[in-house]
Amino acid sequence: MKKILLMLLLLVSTMQASAYDFLRAVKDSIPGGYNFWVYTPIDYFYSQEQTPVIIFLHGASLCGRNLERVRRYGPLDAIVKGRQIDALTIVPQNPGGAWSPKKIMDVLDWVKSRYACDTTRVYVLGMSLGGYGTMDVCGTYPDRIAAGMALCGGTSLKDVSGLGRLPFWIIHGTADRAVPVSKSKTVVESLKRDGNDTRLLYDWLNGANHGAPARIFYLRKTYDWLFSHSLLDKDRPVRRDLTIGLDDLRRAYGDVRRNAGAPELIEGPSVIKGEGHEY
């Protein structure tokens, strides 16, 4: 009897440890591709195939070959600051130049082949250069992305019609001197002109500079909006009942769990293993 109880205690303790959040650096695993982080959420042990996926694309200031740089802002930093994000969170690093939609999909495919996740709930968001990347990825692969959010960006796509095929939210500050708000407005005007804006949201933050939208990554609303969309939704409608404004940015850190602790850094697969996957 004691032996059985000890085995049960060991199993419970292992499950609790396995449920803890992990952060894994993946380097030189995709020939010619990006290096990236994979964050495994706290409840991943229990959610597995129901776990959504977030891909975050950073701006030009974080380009390079030092993965630590891309943790300076965005979802990974939000997690450290106490925002709970219940998704496999992928953060690639761009060594320089424009983001490649194909290379982003290569990263996603690498993760999907090794981590159980909900492939109908993949989301892309980014700002500045990453806002360009977000529009380019979502406009190129609208049938693989459930929803996207581009902050203070634009697009290099000549044909933006793909952005009308998925729920998509464009946000830009009107006082942005690094990337003029006109870059986002051009995309919106093109989609509206073609009657291709039924799944589009857009907001111009009055007086906001280039860096102001970065606080959006720390809002609960951001992830609530993303997670409410799925490739399985009939006609893929956009959720319109949530708004993000300047007041939200001022309160971005108001409800985070202070002193939550940083994710555990690991090398290689985590302690959780399953048939056909490494975690």
What is the per-residue pLDDT across 258-268, written as a single tens digit (0 to 9) for each? Answer: 666 667 777 76
Concatenate the DSSP letters of all residues of 68-108 into one string. GGGGSSSHHHHHHTT----SEEEEEE--SSS--HHHHHHHH
pLDDT at 174: 98
Residues 127 and 215 sit within 8 Å (Cβ to Cβ): no
Neighbour tally for 5: CB within 10 Å:
9
For 102-117, write each residue's pLDDT tens digit: 999 999 999 999 999 9
Q: pLDDT band at 143, cuts 50/70/90?
A: very high
Average pLDDT over residues 222-230: 98
Q: In Å, how far are 13, 54, 239 from 174, measured between CA atoms?
A: 52, 27, 24
Average pLDDT over residues 184-211: 97
For 160-194, write each residue's pLDDT tens digit: 999 999 999 999 999 999 999 999 999 999 999 99
Neighbour tally for 180: CB within 10 Å:
17
pLDDT at 46: 87
CA atoms within 13 A on the CB side of 74: 31
pLDDT at 13: 36
pLDDT at 27: 95
Lowest-pLDDT choice from 203-212, 217-226, 232-241, 266-275: 266-275
Instruction: Express as a percent the part of the chain with pLDDT over 90.
Output: 78
pLDDT at 6: 37
Give the pTM: 0.88
Q: In Å, how far are 10, 40, 115, 276 from 15, measured between CA atoms?
A: 9, 15, 17, 19
Q: pLDDT band at 273, cuts 50/70/90?
A: very low
**Is the per-residue pLDDT at 18 higher than 50?**
no
Mean pLDDT in the chain? 89
Instruction: Express as a percent the part of the chain with pLDDT over 70.
Output: 86
